[in-house]
Structure 1
Amino acid sequence: MFFYSLLFLFLPYTLSVVCQDLAPLTVDTSYYYRLTNDLTGPTKALDVLPDGSGGLAIVDLGPSSGQFWRLTQLTNGPKYALSTLYLGDALSLDVVNDDGNASTHVHLDTTRKDSGQYWTLTPAANGSFTLSNDFTGLDRPLGVSIEESKPVLGSNNYSGKHWRLAKISDVTGNDEIPALKHVVKGHLNEQGNYDDAHPSIPGTWKAVMVFVDFDDSHARDTDNQTAIGQQLMGNGSLAELFFNQSYSNLNLSIDVRSDLPWHTISGAWRRDWGNNISGYNAAAMSSFTTDEVDFFAYDVVMIVPPQNCGADRSYESGNVTVGSRNVSSVITVADDDYTNWYTMAHELGHSLGLPDLYPYNKTTTADRHLWQGGPWGLMADDYQSRGFVGWHRHRLGWLATERKTFVKAPTASGITKRTLLTPLDGHYGTSLLAMDIGNTSKLLVAEVVQPLQGANATEWNQGLMVYTIDSTVRSGYEPLRLVHNIAGVPSNRGAAWQTPWQVGSTMTYAAEHINVTLKVEQQIKDSYFVEVRYDVVLGFTGPTEFAVPVELIEDPNPDSGAHH
């Protein structure tokens, strides 16, 4: 029996199939199955090597999660992807392409739409079936090498090609992450799910970009609005970022009104934006007639002044009153947007309801190492981060249910969860792990770290990031706080960089009546296999009950979350 065993036993029984003119089999995909071979007999099964290689072997039957095979039907007919409970659907049975369509070796590799991962089950007269893939073809089905006790692809006329399926257990979905209590009342917060201010997840996010200048700082003849619009949008990269980060769920559409002239706003509206940002926004939009722009037809309004006019920091404001109506979100563009289009991505994050993760009282580059959330994630640092953290992708409804899971505290101490965490930028597997820490407004969260632009363009993208998320903490006061790995990174980079937990690391988070230990057991390609253990202490009353009414806490400074 391999090391990665399950926490339950099983009672397999043979799958009954009906063969009609040797048409490919159709399998009930709601079960996990054991794969046995007629040559090695019913006491041996196909299993995954526990060394992180993705290799396979024929071994004795046992409760190993690598023997729990899941068949996922693909779109083009009765073809299936084969994955395991051990490594999840992020890795699928594939051909090692070492000799083209004459290749003989198979393994588990990153799930993708490759022909070597499209498998057909063809019935045989004795109730077994052959297993072939689209890459090597029907004439080279999967068989067994007796000498090496492993599966191989070979010719169509040998006894080891006959396989059988036996049901083991139902396929169960991931547990839903609960909504958090105590939401800070205001424009930006860290509520667990999409909130009342944003009742539906947008499929298309419509924005309009208009251009204004000032009495004492007019646009130059060389300030071409079309070129400026492209610059601020990263020449298409901004829309691509949101499309990719949302897993194709959000289409950002920006209407650049370069057909309109620069509109001059009367009055001293430059560095004094912070004193009356709402007044600036209203004055800017009021300078356009309703025939020119219908601002209320858009989700976001972007107000763009000339570069180097004195506006040095961008802002995002919610519910700006123009006349007798409200515009839901207004972004005031400044010089930082001109030099880095990721700043616009940060401000659009605010438009979607995401708070600032960096602290308002520590905003210089020199003190990034003091930030509780570090420079990780676009809502923390848009100069070094290149994507949204997993919690924010969950909050916005972008991360699919099957790609995130919740671990509820057990009734007694013990190992509660073992799973493979996959990178957020992929499309398969569990990428977000949220853990109960006995608090209805706070969770412990783990995800694979995303690439972070460091010194000399170094990308820090190895290991796991572990943090708490707290819905009682308002924007700019660090609602996301890292659990630092003090031994993880040289100390001269500061605590904020001591984030990734590598293979062999063990992290324990001590809550009031619960200790949660997360162990990074092994790296498998770009994913990490982790174990979650709970130790309950005196006073523990059982798993946290999250089904409670939301309590709103007034934000004493509601505008504090409106700036970058």
Structure 2
Amino acid sequence: MGVPNPSLEVHVPRAQTPRGVDRRRLRRVAAVATSLSALIATSIVTGPATASEAALSCALGRTDAHHSEGVDSWDDAYPRPDRTRRAVMVFLSFPDARPATTTQQLAGDYFPATARFFDRASYGRFHLRTRIQPRWVRMPHPSTWYAIQRDWDSGRRSAYLRDAVAAADPSVDFRRYDLVYLVADPGAPGVDSDATKVVNLDQPMHADGAELRRFVTVFEHSPPDRNVLAHETGHVFDLPDLYHRPRNGRGDWDTYVGDWDLMGSQFGLAPEPFGWHKWRLGWITDGQIDCVSLDRPRMHSLRTLSAPDDPGDHRRPRLLVVRTGPDSALAMEARGAEGNDHAVCTEGVLVYRVRSTTASGDGPVRVLDGHPGTAACWGRSVYPPLADAPLGVGESLNDPEDGVRVQVEGRATDGEWAVKITRSTP
């Protein structure tokens, strides 16, 4: 699901069984002649008191917030995508409809595109290997019986999951898989594309001796929303929703992060996961984090986030972090038109705020707009006011909330950005 109907992750309580103007050109910055290779050293500073036991002082501690953005530890209730993970995709048909396509054809809506997205995003550190079930699995009730919708009745949702597992069990050995995708026949009359989501279970279901704690339930049309499966898979790996859901269902959904990071919108022009998320998932190492001390101003370098790894990249910073409080930080990363971000609207240094005590869907990450008086890529961007948020060479941003000034000083011929971070003056 995407804007105006983004996907929603649902947590099942314990009592339940299962659950605009013309298109703007990309900003091209001039290269600077001076090499930035001397700017790579990481600065370790003494940050505010925290429960974090991580090696870096700018690492926020994980909290009880749902999908907390803390990076000091990993919640073992979720599989970590730091190696090959196996998934199974099960296709569900119903008595009130005959599928108009084969499972292999429908699987082509999602793979290999989703696996390639993660291969690029993780710099080859995570591989998603998915078995496509060759035949449709028949559900016992008509699609309309399950009353499928975004805010789904818990009883019908639980029945759907129980029926799906029971129907698939003869042909699926659930012990072999870390992820389970349940894909409903998109042509069935009761299937609502707005209902695609991850369902978490406090009390797991059991099949083949395996505990099944979460499912990705897919109700997309064919072809589906762009990057929808990658978005939902992000939830399986403990990533939060970054969009803003208006209380009355009307208004902008993308005011928090705009196009940046697919956990905000699967339609975004820049779906590459934030550097902060890559740090959490283990795709960026501590050696690629530059903790910034405002007491010792100096120049910092940034390698473009979506650029593939080169030999020696494990010590070249991809993320600058200023610790601003026990549970908050400012992060800076370079976004460019390559890889998953090939359609990005504006290149430059992106600044955003992270709060580890803010729950999924409440704005745990918020992009700071480097050009608050302008917008870009009308007709393509999910939220044009933030499409030109990054800073180009010679541009700066003052954050009065935390007293931080970010200035982009230049860009080297190898693509690295030079960034100066200081205290801002009133």
**1:228 maps to what in 2?**
106
Task: Tell me which of 114, 139, 145 is aligned to 1:264.
Answer: 139
Query: Aligned residue pairs: how many?
Result: 359
Aligned mates of 1:173, 1:484 — CA distance in 2: 26
Aligned mates of 2:259, 2:319 — CA distance in 1: 19
Tell me, yes or no, if structure 1 residue 85 matches structure 2 residue 38.
yes
Name the aligned partner's letter for residue 281 of structure 1: L
**1:524 maps to what in 2?**
412
Tell me, yes or no, if structure 1 residue 441 matches structure 2 residue 323.
no
Q: How does 1:130-209 map to 2 (within 5 A)?
A: 173=42, 175=44, 176=56, 178-181=58-61, 183-186=63-66, 188-196=67-75, 197-198=77-78, 202-209=82-89
Tell me, yes or no, if structure 1 residue 507 matches structure 2 residue 390.
no
**1:237 maps to what in 2?**
113
Aligned mates of 2:215, 2:131 — CA distance in 1: 14
DSSP 3-state at the match of 1:374: coil
DSSP 3-state at the match of 1:231: coil
Structure 2's unaligned 5+ residue stretches are 1-29, 45-55
Structure 1's unaligned 5+ residue stretches are 1-50, 56-65, 67-82, 89-171, 538-564
Q: Deviations over 1:516-551 (max 9, x none)?
A: 1111111334332110113699xxxxxxxxxxxxxx
Identify, as 1 or 2, the structure richer in strand.
1
Name the aligned partner's letter for residue 249 of structure 1: R
Q: Deviations over 1:373-400 (max 9, x none)?
A: 2221110111123321111111101013
Q: Deviations over 1:84-135 (max 9, x none)?
A: 314x4xxxxxxxxxxxxxxxxxxxxxxxxxxxxxxxxxxxxxxxxxxxxxxx
Identify if the C-alpha distance between structure 1 residues 494 and 202 changes in structure 2 by more than 3 Å, giving closer, same or farther. Answer: closer
**2:10 maps to what in 1?**
none
**1:316 maps to what in 2?**
198
Tell me, yes or no, if structure 1 residue 339 matches structure 2 residue 339.
no
**2:346 maps to what in 1?**
461
Tell me, yes or no, if structure 1 residue 405 matches structure 2 residue 294.
no
Q: Determine if contact 1:174/1:402 at 8 Å carries over to the other structure.
A: no
Aligned mates of 1:302, 1:328 — CA distance in 2: 13
DSSP 3-state at the match of 1:227: helix
Tell me, yes or no, if structure 1 residue 327 matches structure 2 residue 212.
yes
Identify if the C-alpha distance between structure 1 residues 446 and 241 changes in structure 2 by more than 3 Å, giving closer, same or farther. Answer: same
Aligned mates of 1:199, 1:271 — CA distance in 2: 27
Q: How does 1:28-43 map to 2 (within 5 A)?
A: none
Q: Deviations over 1:160-211 (max 9, x none)?
A: xxxxxxxxxxxx556436442462344x231224522347554111110111
DSSP 3-state at the match of 2:168: coil
Name the aligned partner's letter for residue 295 of structure 1: F
Identify if the C-alpha distance between structure 1 residues 498 and 452 changes in structure 2 by more than 3 Å, giving closer, same or farther. Answer: farther
Aligned mates of 2:257, 2:396 — CA distance in 1: 20
**More relative contact order, 1 or 2 (CA 8 Å, 6+ apart):** 2
Task: Tell me which of 225, 246, 249 is aligned to 2:125.
Answer: 249
User: Which has the larger Rg?
Assistant: 1
Q: Determine if contact 1:304/1:332 at 8 Å carries over to the other structure.
A: yes
**1:112 maps to what in 2?**
none
Report the CA distance between 1:365 and its aligned residue. 9.8
Aligned mates of 2:292, 2:245 — CA distance in 1: 32
Q: Determine if contact 1:271/1:312 at 8 Å carries over to the other structure.
A: no
Name the aligned partner's letter for residue 198 of structure 2: E
Aligned mates of 1:226, 1:463 — CA distance in 2: 40
Report the CA distance between 1:237 and its aligned residue. 2.2
**2:17 maps to what in 1?**
none
Q: Determine if contact 1:448/1:464 at 8 Å carries over to the other structure.
A: yes
Q: How does 1:210-229 map to 2 (within 5 A)?
A: 210-216=90-96, 218-220=97-99, 222-229=100-107
Report the CA distance between 1:466 and its aligned residue. 0.4
Name the aligned partner's letter for residue 378 of structure 1: L
Tell me, yes or no, if structure 1 residue 390 matches structure 2 residue 275.
yes
- Cα RMSD, aligned residues only: 3.1
Q: Deviations over 1:401-430 (max 9, x none)?
A: 3322111453xxxx5231121211222331
Q: Determine if contact 1:210/1:257 at 8 Å carries over to the other structure.
A: yes
Report the CA distance between 1:257 and its aligned residue. 0.9
Aligned mates of 1:201, 1:386 — CA distance in 2: 18
Task: Tell me which of 290, 296, 303 is aligned to 2:175.
Answer: 296
Name the aligned partner's letter for residue 262 of structure 1: V
Report the CA distance between 1:470 and its aligned residue. 0.7
Aligned mates of 2:392, 2:350 — CA distance in 1: 9
Identify if the C-alpha distance between structure 1 residues 191 and 408 changes in structure 2 by more than 3 Å, giving closer, same or farther. Answer: same
Aligned mates of 1:494, 1:179 — CA distance in 2: 31
Report the CA distance between 1:317 and its aligned residue. 1.9
Q: Determine if contact 2:320/2:332 at 8 Å carries over to the other structure.
A: yes
Report the CA distance between 1:467 and its aligned residue. 0.6
Task: Tell me which of 379, 390, 403 is aligned to 2:263.
Answer: 379
Name the aligned partner's letter for residue 377 of structure 1: D
Name the aligned partner's letter for residue 192 of structure 2: A
Aligned mates of 1:321, 1:265 — CA distance in 2: 22
Report the CA distance between 1:515 and its aligned residue. 1.5
Identify if the C-alpha distance between structure 1 residues 522 and 407 changes in structure 2 by more than 3 Å, giving closer, same or farther. Answer: same
Aligned mates of 1:363, 1:54 — CA distance in 2: 53
DSSP 3-state at the match of 1:85: helix
Report the CA distance between 1:483 and its aligned residue. 1.1
Tell me, yes or no, if structure 1 residue 417 matches structure 2 residue 298.
yes
DSSP 3-state at the match of 1:282: helix
Name the aligned partner's letter for residue 263 of structure 1: R
DSSP 3-state at the match of 2:113: helix
Aligned-residue sequence identity (percent) comes to 21
Report the CA distance between 1:229 and its aligned residue. 1.3
Identify if the C-alpha distance between structure 1 residues 364 and 245 changes in structure 2 by more than 3 Å, giving closer, same or farther. Answer: farther
Name the aligned partner's letter for residue 200 of structure 2: G
Aligned mates of 1:407, 1:337 — CA distance in 2: 46
Aligned mates of 2:248, 2:285 — CA distance in 1: 34
